Structure 1
Amino acid sequence: MSSSGLVLIFNAGSSSLKFSVIDPDSGRESLDGIGDALGSEQPVLKWQYDGHKHARKLDAGAGHGEVIDFLVGDLLGELPALKKRLIAIGHRIVHGGEHFSRSVLIDRKVIEAIGECASLAPLHNPPGLLGIRAALEAFPQLPQAAVFDTAFHQTLPEHAYLYALPYSLYREHRLRRYGMHGSSHRFVSERAADLLQKPLRETNIISAHLGNGASVAAIKGGTSVDTSMGLTPLEGLVMGTRCGDVDAGLLMHLQESLGYSPERLNQLLNRESGLLGISGLSNDCRELEQAAAEGHRGARLALEIFCYRLAKYIAAYTVPLRRVNAVIFTGGIGENSSWVRERVLHWLAALDYRLDTEMNERMRFGAEGAITPAGSPTAMVIPTNEEWVIARDAAGLVDGENG
């Protein structure tokens, strides 16, 4: 990688566009920001450069293209030295199906394949394409890379990724489990090997990425062998507004007995369930912890179900790994909620996990390290850095193309 080159990262959501400029060698951010509430009456742009925070309102209805136009014309226009150092643009794309087992440089065929996967990640792939098209127009001279959440999990064996449905549904329609959060699981597994002072190929990790979206992965020697998310980001753990695992018969009951349409089911399962649905209060773990401490039964129940479900998945993933070197907590909740980590390890007591309370309380706001004492199986907190993974992959692809 070039020690002087920088990579511009785009992470597009349905109503947001995060961006950052990263040194792929060190992971240092020069600029980061977000366009939020895009498409609404009050979109806003916030950014930070050289330790100074800024914000401005955008015109009503402004979208991804307007954010990129402002970034190129105003922000980077005022920082010509930074703009001159850009060597590539990296895009986080949630779903690549079976098309992609690694990051790739973007061309017409890649864009078409991302579009084909849009139905599997309807909240993420379409805005990802918007970001790609806007960036291609704004930066036609720069190579652009797509980094897929699903790519890391393309190493799952058949017995882990196939559903027990007629095999023809997989053969003809590629209906299978794909998994998400691959860049995060990959980053923390590599970092865990460093902290454990073991070669990655000899390190077995259970990685729990816990945020508004949440997933857990079994990683054997740096390779994903099982993960909780499935065909879409809906399967697996309880999440902020997603239900995770449910009985498929429940969905038929909702359709046949309560008259739920497919559209209503989608809204229920993806946006009204999870921590929000159980608590009836919020999908924000911080708010729920505060409410639970004040006696709110729904908040306490939502958090307990969240931790219990996660502990069951962690215990299950000892099966494919056999030997576990560490359980990793990452993501916004995993990195900052000492309460969640404590309850998960409480449920894992049958596997001899014990908690170092003092170390657990220290692990927040970017801290990393073990939260278990000597003599206990190891559990650790490792802050994730998906943007750095994207920057490294994009820079590596450019280096490969150049020679």
Structure 2
Amino acid sequence: MDIPVDFATLRVIWWALVGILLIGFALTDGFDMGVGALLPFVAKTDQERRMVINTVGATWEGNQVWFILGGGAIFAAWPFVYAISFSGFYLAMFVVLAAMIMRPVGFKYRSKRPNPKWRAFWDWSLFVGGFVPVLVFGVAMGNVLQGAPFRLDSDLRAFYEGAFIGLFSPFALVCGLLSVSMLVLHGAAWLTIKAEEGPVTERARLFGEIAALASIVLFAAGGFWVAFGGLGFRIEGLADAAGPSNPLRGAAAVRAPGAWLDNYGRHGWMVIAPVLGFVGAALALYGLRFNKAWAAFSGSSASAVGIIATVGLSMFPFILPSSFDPRSSLTVWNASSSHMTLFIMLIVTLIFLPLVLIYTAWVYKVLWGRSTTGALVTNPDLY
């Protein structure tokens, strides 16, 4: 069968699609997690906390589809990346899953008993389910930028040479805190448009302003570290964009401090991503400060898109570089599935992704409106 799209183009398309899925996860489930992380702080009474939970209660399960799609796309399109990252970062992934398990349990059981201690326990469980995964995702991204300590032998068997505690380096923690501030900002902006006006939205605006400032500072600090902290990898020679998926064949990768900025010199338009990260956070800060809810939410969304896109564009064509053995680094050109697999998956995606987007938009339209404390009296089945 003749495939109408060449192998190199399909690899770039799937690199972009995985990025889009991760951004979709940040924009949808991201504000759910941000709201969970804010729950104990923006809501003081039981009614306020129930009202905050109901701002995401109707949609959080559907939003997690983006997380599942992202993981599935990595598994199908970049099997080497999936195998090495999920095995090397096994304990970190276990922490994330354990924390995320607290979310559905917290949503379902929190209001089953009127006991204040019972409800407080599940409120803090929702906080853990929102805060911990976001922190670990950011830390993981910091480790990707630094390079993960793995190697491949001649049979392409992967060996991870790091330890769990080693994931939490200073730079990785900066990335983790940036991830937290980015999605706390997004959650605070969401509360300003979904929660009834009052003490909750006032507190959300206050915490959101702090998160917006933290996002700007941490994003700038991370960029400075990338530029001058000795981070970066580069491919020596000319990579075969349509070559076989074998990380040990073809052009080798080497450490190259500052190389994560090379793409911006070659393609000036890429600077749009970091600019969007800063401008979005500034717009969100403006919206929160002057009570313009949609400006705040648009800004927090734009900031998340810009920050995530900055990482992907800076690293291209690298997906998972190796700090232990740079020659084992995984790139867009050497770690993908076969030509036929990528093409079949692209056809499936072109059919079903629009359906997911249409259905999601319809759900939000049907369920739109502010969550209020009064609704808790008229509808006792709410969370």
- Per the normalisation by structure 2, the TM-score is 0.28
* Structure with the larger RCO, 1 or 2 (CA within 8 Å, 6+ apart): 2
Would you tell me which structure has more helix in proportion to its own residues?
A: 2
